[in-house]
A and B are shown apart, each in its own frame.
Chain A
Amino acid sequence: MHDVYVSGENVITSLGFTIEENIENIRNDVTGVRLRGDKKLFPEDFFASIIDSQQLDREFHSPEHKPDFTRFEKIMICSAEKALAENTHIDASSEKTIFVISSTKGNIDLLEEDKKILFEPDRVYLWKSAEIIAEYFGNKNKPVVISNACVSGVLAISTASEMLRSGWYNHAVVIGGDIVTEFVVSGFQSFKSLSFGPCKPFDLNRDGLNLGEGAGTILMTTRKEALPKGAIIKVLGGACNNDANHISGPSRTGEGLMLAVTRAMKNSGLTAEQIDFISAHGTATPYNDEMESKAFSAAGLCHVPLNSLKGYFGHTLGAAGIIESAIAIQGMKQNILFKTMGYSELGVTEKISVVDRLTEKTQKYIVKTASGFGGCNAAVILEKL
């Protein structure tokens, strides 16, 4: 069995196209969640975090001999390209490198009447866009595509790390992304899940989530000697558990998430006392955050500081697990806990420790969690050496 390390990361959100820009904005309490009046996305105004299209076109270097790319593919490729540019020891085209793609809806906007004609019909399928992304980087391995609602990103990290641990590959390029479309906005609105303002994770006055678009990349390697200078982050065990309760409502007991967290700790050889920080999911819907508080309490983690980053760039769906892990990794490297934007007063039953201001703390072990429709919950543990 091989140890698996994080070699580099990138995040693209409305807060910036590099991990540094995103971190600087988060440190300065800047949010990318804004009132949007885009009638194409939704008939009424709503709050969301949207990537600037003009900047995306400036940042995305489309090779002239290659065909057009969709918005989803552009943010995915752009994110991986930026991460790889800083990690030249990882050869993206090598047969020992695997691409792992995480998304809930990928190119779903291609179902729209005016976009249908722009691409071949099979472009709407995730296997197709994954193929195009891997091909862009000259990688010939069949990409692994995970589409498991909002836990896709955490599951992709944990699955990629197990594939490397088993020695199948030396490197993994794990990319997660989702865009804000008419499709998802109308759907979440029909569920009455969207907040009337910027979201307030774990807060007494939380009333729903904000959607966000984004892409994140985590590069993993088994080659410790090639890692860039600085703190070393290792990917430990993970777990995914269903709560067998309801397809669209979070479990009232939090049993699925509790199982995922405790099994991830067990698979990593850790106990609750050793966990220094939780990067929670915290969508800011009343039921989800309540469920998470119960799960963390049941797992013996009430004392552990936790945050949700949804207040900065919304819920980025299939990208969330990867974007939020990348930011948590920066927090580990800088010995910082980022605050929960939008949070002011505890509004869940269990007395969890929500980080409400930028806090200095060295962290050895952290857990990243996510929960989603279909009753799925996932957790993965990261270690700073």
Chain B
Amino acid sequence: MLITKTAHIVDNQVLVNGNILYHNEEAIDYKDFIKSTFRQLCPAYPKFFKMDNLCKLAFLASEVLLKDEHLTEKYPKEEIGLIIMNASSSIDVDKDHQQTINSRENYFPSPSFFVYTLPNVMLGEICIKNHFFGENAVYISEHFDADTLFRQVNLFFNINRMSACITGWIENNGTNYEAFLMLVEVDLKVGDLKEICNFAVPEIYKLFNRQ
């Protein structure tokens, strides 16, 4: 298995394979940065504006990662999986939802918040956009844990439950955010010219820590 591409969004920068694709030093906050990134890098996709902050981050990282990849032409759609890890689950929007019900006098729970109070919904958004029908799993871990990610992704490759996988770390706790995605493929077709490396724990840490 090989890591064939990476995408990283952190500190107001977007990196692909470690190279800066976009940065915005003027962005006043996370929301501002995410919005400008979307406008700069992605074609129109009205559903984006309905998403919560975690899904927006995951969606942007996936768009950058999957640009020009045409995965559904290379692999059966049910063998393209998403295995994502984070620490805070959907805490940012969880707090928004809790706010709407804290006071009985001002009580207005909203389905538009509630639907995002599950971390795997970000996987759903990426599957909808790309027509991926494969494995979905969200693992919760205090820190980025390449060992667990590697083992779980490896497991599903070994039993033929996946041929390609988008895997990594998508974290937004309302204060800090970071997205790091890797495209892992079972094999490379002849003619592909890519920066590749083995899917292994030291490599994953190396890629995660380079910016």
B139:A242 contact, CB within 8 angstroms:
no
- Chain B: minimal CB distance from A107 (Å): 11
Instruction: Tell me, yes or no, whether B124 is within 8 Å of chain A by CB.
Output: yes
User: How many A-B residue pairs lie within 8 Å, measured between CB atoms?
Assistant: 164
A375:B138 contact, CB within 8 angstroms:
no
CB neighbours of A108 from chain B (8 A): 94
B142:A373 contact, CB within 8 angstroms:
no
CB neighbours of B122 from chain A (8 A): 374
Task: State the CA gap A48–B205 with chains docked (Å).
Answer: 46
Instruction: Tell me, yes or no, whether A7 is within 8 Å of chain B by CB.
Output: no
Task: State the CA gap A247–B58 with chains docked (Å).
Answer: 14
A241:B138 contact, CB within 8 angstroms:
no
A190:B136 contact, CB within 8 angstroms:
no
Instruction: Tell me, yes or no, whether A267 is within 8 Å of chain B by CB.
Output: yes
Instruction: Tell me, yes or no, whether A90 is within 8 Å of chain B by CB.
Output: no
Name the residue in B138, B155, B158 with the highest tally of chain A Cβ atoms < 10 Å from its Cβ: B138
Q: How many of chain B's residues touch chain A, expressed as a range?
A: 35 or more
Instruction: Known A126-B140, A145-B139, A374-B124; judge A241-B87 contact (CB<8 A).
Output: no
Which of A43, A145, A242 makes the CB contact (< 8 A) with B140? A145
- Chain B: minimal CB distance from A292 (Å): 17
B107:A43 contact, CB within 8 angstroms:
yes
CB neighbours of A166 from chain B (8 A): 155, 158
- Chain A: minimal CB distance from B133 (Å): 5
B138:A148 contact, CB within 8 angstroms:
yes
Instruction: Known A127-B141, A182-B101, A187-B109; judge A162-B155 contact (CB<8 A).
Output: yes
Instruction: Tell me, yes or no, whether B123 is within 8 Å of chain A by CB.
Output: yes
Instruction: Tell me, yes or no, whether A59 is within 8 Å of chain B by CB.
Output: no
Interface residues of A in 141-200 (CB under 8 A from B): 142, 144-149, 151, 155, 159, 162-163, 166, 168, 182-183, 186-191
Complex: chain A residue closest to B151, CB-CB: A168
A190:B138 contact, CB within 8 angstroms:
no
Complex: chain B residue closest to A248, CB-CB: B115
CB neighbours of A242 from chain B (8 A): 82, 123-124, 127, 132-134, 136
Interface residues of B in 62-84 (CB under 8 A from A): 77-78, 82
CB neighbours of B8 from chain A (8 A): none
Instruction: Known A127-B141, A146-B139; judge A247-B115 contact (CB<8 A).
Output: yes
Task: State the CA gap A149–B137 with chains docked (Å).
Answer: 10
Instruction: Tell me, yes or no, whether B31 is within 8 Å of chain A by CB.
Output: no
A112:B98 contact, CB within 8 angstroms:
yes
A127:B159 contact, CB within 8 angstroms:
no
Interface residues of B in 93-143 (CB under 8 A from A): 94-95, 97-98, 100-102, 104, 107, 109-111, 114-115, 117-125, 127-128, 130-142
Complex: chain A residue closest to B84, CB-CB: A148
Q: Identify 10 new A-B residue pairs, CB closer than 8 A, beyond the known A168-B151, A241-B136, A248-B111.
A: A105-B117, A112-B98, A127-B142, A148-B136, A159-B137, A162-B155, A190-B114, A242-B134, A246-B128, A374-B124
B residues touching A (Cβ–Cβ < 8 Å)? 77-78, 82, 87-89, 91, 94-95, 97-98, 100-102, 104, 107, 109-111, 114-115, 117-125, 127-128, 130-142, 145, 148, 151-152, 155-156, 158-161
Closest 10 CB pairs between A and B?
A: A374-B124, A187-B114, A186-B109, A242-B127, A145-B140, A190-B109, A244-B127, A374-B120, A111-B98, A374-B121
